[in-house]
Structure 1
C-alpha cells in the first residue's frame, strides 16, 4: 500500500451558506444548534450534491463544547469555533466531565438524527478523534509537547475522551445513525515521527475505535483516508478492496452497498465527505482492526 495511491483532496468547501439556508427554510445561525434547522439544511445539502447520505453536524466543535470548551459563532468563517481553551497545560486536566446527551447542541444533533431516521434517510455523523477534541480544550503546542514529555498523561486523557466518544457512538446508533465518519487530523502520521505514531497516536486511535466497536452493535465507522492510510501503514489494521464494475457509482453509493452486503464495521482509504464524487480506484476498502496489541508494544509506553 502506497500513501500516494490514496491522496487527500482536503475538506470540501463549506456547504452551509445563508442562501442555502434561506432556500431550505432554515435559520443560518440555528443550523449549528437546533435540530429542525439542522435537518432542513442537511437535506438541502444532500439534494444539491445528489448524495445518498445525509450528514450531521456542520462543525467540529460539538464534542469539545460538551466537554467544556468555550464555543461561539466565528464572525469571519461563519461556523462555531473555540474562543478560549479551557486548560493551559496537560497537568491542569485532572478530570473531564461526562458527555450529557440530554441538553445542549449534542442533544440537538442526536434529535436531528432521529428526525432524519423517521424519514428513512441514510445518516452519517461526523465524530472527531480524541486528539482533535483535546486540541479544542488545550493548545496544539501542549499536545505535541506531551507526546514527547508526558506520553503517559496524554494517554490517560485521550483514553478518557475515547470512552466518551464510544458513549456518543452508542447514542448516535440508537438515534438512527448508520455511519460514523471518524477523523483525527491533529495527529496524522505525517505530522509526527513513525515511532511516536506507532507507540502513542496510532495506538490511542486503535483503542478508541475498539471502544466504539464494543459500545455499538452495527453502525459502520469510516476512517478519513489521512487517518486510515497511516493507521494501516503502522500495522494497526489491514484492508481488503471490494471492487465494483459499475462505473457510474459515486463513492457514497458504493460504500452504502458494500456496508449492506458485508456488514463490515470499519472502512477507509476514501473520502466520505466527498461521497457524492465518482468512485475512484474501482472500489471501497474494508478495514480489519488488529484484535490485540503485542506485549512488546505495551512495554514501549512511557510514563
Structure 2
C-alpha cells in the first residue's frame, strides 16, 4: 500500500464516477418463486431472506450474500411506521410519525430479540453458518431520522435545530454500535454504511464538516472501536465527502487483474489492518474491479 493520502484535485478526479444507487427493485416475484421464497416474507422472515439472498448471489455470480432488501430496518426499530408499498413492492414509511425534528422525543433502544431486525440477524447467522460471506446494509442517523420525520424538516433542522439533531444522532449512534456488534456476532463480515439523506452536495461544505460529517465520523469511529474485525464499506457518495472534509485519509489497494470488485474486496478484508473501505460501490461487487480499492484510515 502507498502512504496515506489526503484530499487533492488528483484524488477528486480519480474518484469521480456515477453512483449506481440501490436497484429499483432487486427482489421480484419471479425471482422469489425460483428461490422457493414467499415475496412479502423476504422482507420479514429469516428463512425467506436466506433463500432470496442466495438466489441474488447466484444470478449475479457474486461472492457475497447481502441483507436486508430494504432500507427501513433501523428506522422501524426506532418506531417508524413501515408497510409494504404496493407501487414499488418494498417496505416503505406509510406516514411520518413526527411532523418536525423538535417533535421527536427520546427514541427507544433497538430490540434485537423481536421484529424484522431480529429476523435479519437470524438470516445472517444462517448464511454465515452455511459458509457464506455476508454483507449487511446499515443506514446512518440522518437517513433513519428521514424516515421518522419529512426530509425537508431534517434540512431545516440542520440550520435551526443542530443541538437537537446532535442529541438524536448520539442516541442513534449508540444503537447502531449495538447493532454492529450483534451483526458481527451473527457472522456478518462487512457493514455497508451509507447516509444519503445528507449527501454533501445538498448542504454547504461548512455545515457538512461541522455537523453531518462529524456525526458520520463519530458513528464510524464508535463502530470500529466496538467491534473486533467487521469491515465497514462506505458508499462513494458518503466516503468522498468524508475524505474531502478531512475526516480520513486513503491508501490504494491494487487488485489482481481480471477479478470482480467483490473478489478484490473479499481479498482486502483478510488483512487485519483493514477496517474501513471507501470510494467504491457495494452494488458493483459482481462487476470488474477496474482500478483500485481504497482503504480509509480515520483520523
Query: Which residue is 1:139 aligned to?
Result: 150
What is aligned with 2:290?
280
Matched, 1:70 2:84: no
Query: What SS does the aligned partner of 1:97 have?
Result: coil
State which drifts further: 137-146 or 4-13.
Answer: 4-13
- Note if 1:109 corresponds to 2:120: yes
Give TM-score, length-normalised by structure 1: 0.93
- Mapped pair 1:265 → 2:275: yes
Q: Provide the C-alpha distance between the structure 2 equivalents of 1:3 and 1:209, rounded to a whole number of angstroms.
A: 25
2:16 & 2:23 partners in 1: Cα distance? 16
Within 5 Å, give how 1:246-265 maps onto structure 2. 246-265=256-275
* Greater mean deviation of Cα atoms: 46-55 or 89-98: 89-98
Post-superposition offset of 1:3: 5.5
CA shift, 1:252, in A, is 0.6
Q: Which of 75, 82, 87 is 2:98 aligned to?
A: 87
Question: What is the match of residue 210 of structure 1?
Answer: 221
Specify which of 184, 194, 200 is matched with residue 211 of structure 2: 200
Which of the numbers 17, 25, 33 marks the counterpart of 2:36? 25
Contact 1:169–1:212, Cα closer than 8 Å, also in 2? yes
SS class of match (2:201): coil
Q: How many residues are treated as equivalent by the alignment? A: 288
Query: Structure 1: where are the runs of 5+ without partners?
Result: 291-303
Corresponding position of 1:299: none
Report the equivalent of 1:96: 107
Q: Distance in 2 between matches of 1:12 and 1:107?
A: 24
SS in 2 for 1:222: strand
The alpha-carbon deviation at position 90 of structure 1 amounts to 1.5
Which position in structure 2 is the counterpart of 1:122? 133
Aligned CA-pair RMSD? 1.1
Structure 2 residue aligned with 1:219, among 213, 230, 235?
A: 230
- TM-score, with length taken from structure 2: 0.94
In the TM superposition, what whole-angstrom CA distance separates every residue of 1:245-276 from its partner, at most 9, and x where no partner exists? x3210001001101103541100000012211
Partner of 2:70: 59
The structure showing larger relative contact order (alpha-carbon pairs under 8 Å, at least 6 residues apart) is 2
- Is the counterpart of residue 171 in structure 1 residue 186 in structure 2? no
Q: 2:58 aligns with which of 15, 35, 47?
A: 47
Cα distance between partner residues in 1 of 2:258 and 2:230: 26
Aligned position for 2:12: 2
Query: Paired residue for 2:194?
Result: 183
Gaps of 5+ in 2: 1-10
Does residue 1:153 correspond to 2:164, yes or no? yes
The DSSP-based 3-state class of the residue aligned with 2:271 is: helix
Q: 1:13 Cα deviation (Å)? A: 4.3
**Partner in structure 1 of residue 244 of structure 2:** 233
Aligned 8 A contact 1:6 1:225 in 2: no
